[in-house]
Amino acid sequence: MRNKTGILLLTILVTALCAYYLSFTFVSKRVQQQAEAYATDAKGNVNTNKKFAYLDSVRKEPVFNFLGISYTYEEIQNSELSLGLDLKGGMHVVLEVSPVEIIKSMAGNSKDPSFLKALEVAQQRQSSSQAKFTTLFAQAYREINPSGKLAAIFSNTANKGRINYNSTNAQVIAAIDTEVSAAIDRSFNILQTRIDKFGVNQPNIQRLKSTDQIQIELPGVTDATRVRKLLQGTANLEFWEVWKPEEYFPYFGQLNEILLKQEAANKLTAGKSDNAKADADVLTKASAQPAIDPLTGKPVTDSANANSVASAKTDSTKTDSLATNQSTQLTRLFPLLQSGLLQANVRDTAKVNALLHRPDVRALFPANMKFLWAVKPTSLPTAQAGQAKQEFIELYAIKKGRDNKAPVGGDAISDARQDFDQQGRPEVNMGMNVAGAKKWQRLTASSIGRQVAIVLDNYVYSAPVVQGEIPNGNSSISGNFTVEEAQDLANILKAGKMPAPTRIVEEAIVGPSLGQEAINQGLLSSIAAMGLVVIFMIFYYSKGGFVADLALFFNIFFIVGILAQFNAALTLPGIAGMVLTMGMSVDANVLIFERIREELAMGVSIKDAIHKGYDRAFSSIFDSNVTTLLAGVILYFFGSGPVKGFAITLMLGIATSFFTAVYVSRLILEYMTSGKKVNTMSFSTAFSKNLFKNFNFNFIKYRKMAYIGSSAVIVFGFILMYIQGGPNLGVDFKGGRAYVVNFDQAVPASDVRTALLDEFKGSGTDVKTFGASNRLKVTTSYLAEDESTKADETVQAALEAGLQQFSAQKPKVLSSSKVGATMADDIQKTAVLSVLLSFAGIFLYVMLRFRKWQYSLGGVIALVHDALMVTVFFAIGRLFGLNYEMDQVFIASILTIIGFSINDTVVIYDRIREHLTNHPKTRIKDVINPALNDTLSRTIITSLTVLFVVVILFVFGGETLRGFSYAMLVGVISGTYSTLYIATPILLDTIDDDKSNVAAATVTPKLAATGKVRS
């Protein structure tokens, strides 16, 4: 072998680097174990916050010394092999920044009808188009107003220098594109700042360039609600003046009179009159209660507020209609209105909003008065003694400024931090920049004795009474916070305002217990698969098998070590890719060893046989690896989340397996055959020595039967799928939410589904066993179109309500996932595109390598056959209880099967090419069967090794990978069959031997040597 010294040095270098970087992983694991021990109480419970606090405390401390160089824990983390969320637990989120709000802001919130209609149409089209939103908006505006000029809408002071009145529509759209892209970049930076201060160990945030979305992974996070608020809050901080009660009370008096007249006109029934009297009694008692502060739940002591309430009570012109013993909708909604407090029961906030948004009601109030709710409710005693406390929330009357803008905005904040007030309650201290401090000074000077509301994202956090002018810009926000809420608010304010609202379009939460189970299953399947492959290779190839096993160990070591070097995360699909690589990497050694055995059978010396075996197998190995790599590259660029992890491991595995099989194994073989050891080397056992020898089966004879049989199975599968109501799509492809629920005992899936149907309002709901008999996966399309946080909470509450009747079995949600309808549509399109691109890429590569389109046609038709076979067997499998979903991992399996199948096909094509090269005047129909029989041993052995691995994955890999391994199981069998009976026979049916009896040209990295060929 040429460059033996270079290969040896490279192997030693890579081995040393992998060992070096993997050592960081072991050190990091040790530090994390110490943190867990520190945070574990006497009962064995781990305090997550305490654990993170310990890790933060040692982040800058040296924890590892190597050759005199000290490394801090932070540096160790940057070089360790981290675990993905599915192995560690945590939260995965994909956020989308709303371009609509950015465009509206650039247009100065224009009310132009064509502009607003174009935005509406673009939003409707976005769900079924992959075009950019700005492109859709431009198209819609052109259709609605063909002669309209966008410059007339967007030419304002905010866009000065970018857009003027003479700008063309194309120039305006280009400026909007630039602003949207910049807004996404700003959002990314702001989110990164927020997450860095959140206290999560090894967070991962990246912008998905192809979709303008932001992907975030937070390992170890369990409080999903807190994360959603942190990520989706725009941080639109504003400081507003507040109307005094004596100023807004007359308007509510007028409203009460109107409602009294309306209710009288409706001729209330006697029953309703009785209710009204009872309500009036309640109000009489409630009015006797002292005024309650809405934040503390204590009687009002503030002199300004007390005076306001007293003023409201003594002004008869304001209270006449409210002092009546009659109850109206208004007084029922605001039980303490007579006391001058706008407080409503939390459950009545929707009714209050509906009332205040009525046009006739809105007309009663001044144009510069708007109403905002407090951010948190407070528990107040009810009017009747002995009743439980209820939650009330305050409504604030906000005084609008000029142009409806707040006197002071969030851009004034220069610093924010969590602190404690004099009573030890959490608060947020703020510092303002110079311009902001001046505005704040003017506002506080003009508001002495009045409340100033501190509003974040349209919720009032606090509304202190200004006691005097504040000249230095330093102030605080108090609002009955917990420490965590105060910390999050400070982080949000310090990071800055988001340029546009964000929405969560994809979400997955994995509990730590499910993650640990995945680790155990992944390790078990990996060890079992490796053990089986190792035993089989030695059993079949004797000492040659031992060499292949050594190369396999190097391969796995290199994969893990390189992942650590690049600080990549190892995911469960990544483990699947690694396990699959075990089977596929053996293929190169099988090709080489089969070639060596052929040479040995012709009487060639062992050293020459090894030399020729490696040379002649090189072309096939190179081609088959490139075609599989194409599928991996497409998976990486079009996949997301776990699919990306699988693609990275697969691509890395292809590169390392090529290096270890072609070069490392050859180094070992040449060492084992040097000197006197040459006579002890063997590549066969008593079992395999004569297996497949002189095998001569006429595959071509049965090709038409194969065409008909495959077509019949595919047609039957699609008919069956139609009868079943369509393909069994997962949440990835249809949108919705999925939950994995664990019970103490087995619970029938049908019973749980029946219990949930009412709660999910009859929406599509699927419940099935997920791994263990006491674990179920619940998938529902309830509120699938609504991607808001409120909808998430509603569906979660409905799930918990439906599971109440199984409370004896202690149901526990282990993980959850959500994919919005728009996101699901995008995933479907990218899935189809990735499969089509893989077909196109393989078609072009095979045509380039073999210089005949017929080779490409046969290969791609076989691949389409395999993809369809896997698809229909998902429907056929449902007849036998194998009810697996088609999701992103299913697409990963399809592309992997494509890579495996074309790998096998290319090996046979290479042998056909070799036959034709050695015998230029031979017709192709005369060499197809010999080529198929010559490579049959390699085809069977490779398929068997991959099949071993896939079966191990199917049995031990856990429910998460069961659908993937089932698809691979079908795909390996189908791929082997299609190579023998479809891909190669198509050459016979498409190539005209009378016109083409010359060998297919070749462009190989290294020309195969000529020699005797068996036929």
Where is average pLDDT lowest: 312-316, 522-526, 861-865?
312-316
Domain CATH code at residue 787: 3.30.70.3400
Where is average pLDDT lowest: 316-330, 369-383, 454-468, 596-610?
316-330
**What gap in Å lies between CA 828 and CA 819, rounded to an integer?**
12
Does 677 score more than 70 pLDDT? no
pLDDT band at residue 289 under the 50/70/90 scheme:
very low
- Our CA angle for 691, 694, 695, nearest 5°, is 75
Q: Look at residues 573, 572, 550, 574 and name the one whose alpha carbon lies nearest to residue 562.
A: 574
Both 711 and 856 in a single domain?
yes
The 10s digit of each residue's pLDDT in 127-151 is 666 677 888 899 999 999 988 888 8
Domain that holds residue 156: 94-234
Both 373 and 467 in a single domain?
yes
Both 801 and 947 in a single domain?
no
Query: Contacts from 219-223 at CB under 8 Å and sequence distance 24+?
Result: 219/82, 219/83, 219/85, 219/88, 219/89, 219/90, 220/48, 220/52, 220/88, 220/89, 220/90, 220/512, 221/90, 221/91, 222/48, 222/89, 222/511, 222/512
Question: Of 177-191, 380-394, 696-710, 956-970, which one has max mean pLDDT?
Answer: 696-710
The 10s digit of each residue's pLDDT in 207-233 is 776 566 788 877 767 677 777 777 776
**What gap in Å lies between CA 546 and CA 540, rounded to an integer?**
10
The 10s digit of each residue's pLDDT in 717-729 is 999 999 988 888 8
Mean pLDDT of the chain: 78
Is residue 210 situated within a structural domain?
A: yes
Both 347 and 427 in a single domain?
yes
Both 53 and 101 in a single domain?
no
pLDDT band at residue 705 under the 50/70/90 scheme:
very high
Distances (CA, A) of 598 to 75, 204, 585: 52, 52, 21
Both 300 and 385 in a single domain?
yes
Does 68 score more than 90 pLDDT? no
Global pTM?
0.63
pLDDT at 641: 59
Q: Which residues contact 531 (CB under 8 A, 6 or more apart)?
A: none
Where is average pLDDT lowest: 68-72, 720-724, 751-755, 1000-1004?
1000-1004
Rounded to 10 degrees, what is the CA torsion of 889, 893, 894, 899?
140
Where is average pLDDT lowest: 862-876, 907-921, 975-989?
907-921
Q: Is the dihedral of CA 917, 918, 921, 922 positive or negative?
A: negative
The domain total for the chain is 5
Both 402 and 290 in a single domain?
yes
Say which amino acid occupies 845: Y
The 10s digit of each residue's pLDDT in 533-555 is 889 889 988 988 899 889 888 98
Both 281 and 425 in a single domain?
yes
pLDDT greater at residue 1 or residue 471: 471
**What gap in Å lies between CA 459 and CA 924, rounded to an integer?**
78
Task: State mean pLDDT over 197-209.
Answer: 66
Is residue 452 situated within a structural domain?
A: yes
Q: Look at residues 905, 940, 912, 904 and name the one whose alpha carbon lies nearest to residue 928.
A: 912
Both 705 and 592 in a single domain?
yes
pLDDT band at residue 471 under the 50/70/90 scheme:
confident
Is residue 504 situated within a structural domain?
A: no
Does 465 score more than 80 pLDDT? yes
State what percent of residues in the chain have pLDDT above 90: 6
Three-class SS state of 920? coil
Is residue 917 situated within a structural domain?
A: yes
CB atoms within 10 A of CB 29: 13
pLDDT at 93: 82
pLDDT band at residue 279 under the 50/70/90 scheme:
very low
End-of-domain residue from the set 80, 114, 138: 80
Both 229 and 241 in a single domain?
no
**What gap in Å lies between CA 445 and CA 751, rounded to an integer?**
66
End-of-domain residue from the set 51, 80, 109: 80
pLDDT greater at residue 189 or residue 857: 857
Both 548 and 670 in a single domain?
yes
Beta bridge partners of 238: 409, 455
Residue that the structure tokens 């038709």 belong to: 861
Both 181 and 208 in a single domain?
yes
**What gap in Å lies between CA 653 and CA 896, rounded to an integer?**
13
pLDDT at 276: 45
Task: State mean pLDDT over 808-830.
Answer: 75
Q: Which residues contact 989 (CB under 8 A, 6 or more apart)?
A: 703
End-of-domain residue from the set 784, 819, 854: 819
Is residue 723 situated within a structural domain?
A: no
pLDDT band at residue 513 under the 50/70/90 scheme:
low
Q: What is 747-812 written as a DSSP string?
A: --HHHHHHHHHHHTTT--EEEEEESEEEEEEEEE-TTTT--SHHHHHHHHHHHHHHTGGGGGG--E
Task: State mean pLDDT over 54-58.
Answer: 77
Is residue 681 situated within a structural domain?
A: no
Residue that the structure tokens 């220098």 belong to: 161
Alpha helices in 673-748 (DSSP H): 703-723, 731-734
pLDDT band at residue 267 under the 50/70/90 scheme:
low
pLDDT at 235: 64
Is residue 195 situated within a structural domain?
A: yes
Is residue 506 situated within a structural domain?
A: no
Q: What is 270-298 written as a DSSP string?
A: HHHHHHHHHHHHHHHHHHHSPPB-TTT-S
